[in-house]
Amino acid sequence: MKKFTGLVAVVALLAFFAGCADDIVLEEPPSLKGVYTGKYIVKQISTSQSKEENILWRFDDRSFFMELDPDNFGGICFCRCFGDYVLAEGVRLKVIGFQPDDDISDCTSCNGAENPEGTFVLDQSTSTLKLTRQAGDTLKQLLLNKVPE
């Protein structure tokens, strides 16, 4: 009798797992790979002071690169920076290197604390890719539009 009960339990478990296999859908993470134009915004929430500049952005398989848009430069000297990214509960950006954007003659210095680094909330609900991060009193946001290939 114990063998029969054990066999029924094994068959029931196999049937359960076989039936559930069709219900499991693993979605691919959204692909960010490509070249973008857009804006980078750094805002101090308590004072409402805001810096905004036109940028060029590129996502490769695991890396990113940001530079100022020389054709649409508005006078704010964010750093040219590059690093790694991971899609995990948003987008984690880790800056590996940065420097003043020497393609822009007015930009001889930049503030590394303003670099886009940390975990950003990803919003792909519109044609503009939005990455937003608030840490303490500072809000950082990337508004990116993909350049057609």
- 143 against 3, higher pLDDT: 143
Q: How far apart are CA 6 and CA 71, in angstroms?
A: 73
**Model confidence at 42: pLDDT above 80:** yes
Domain boundaries, the chain: 34-146
Cβ proximity of 65 and 46 under 8 Å? no
- Is the pTM for the entire model greater than 0.85? no
The residue behind tokens 């114990």 is: 2
| pLDDT tens-digit map of 127-149 | 999 999 999 999 999 999 999 98
Q: Which residue, among 123, 146, 129, 118, has the nearest Cα to 42 in the 3D structure?
A: 118
Spell out the CATH class of 34-146. mainly beta
pLDDT (tens digit per residue) in 51-67: 999 999 999 999 999 99
Nearest to 58 by CA among 92, 79, 85: 85
Can you give the pLDDT at residue 88? 84
Tens digits of per-residue pLDDT, 94-131?
A: 999 999 998 887 889 999 999 999 999 999 999 999 99
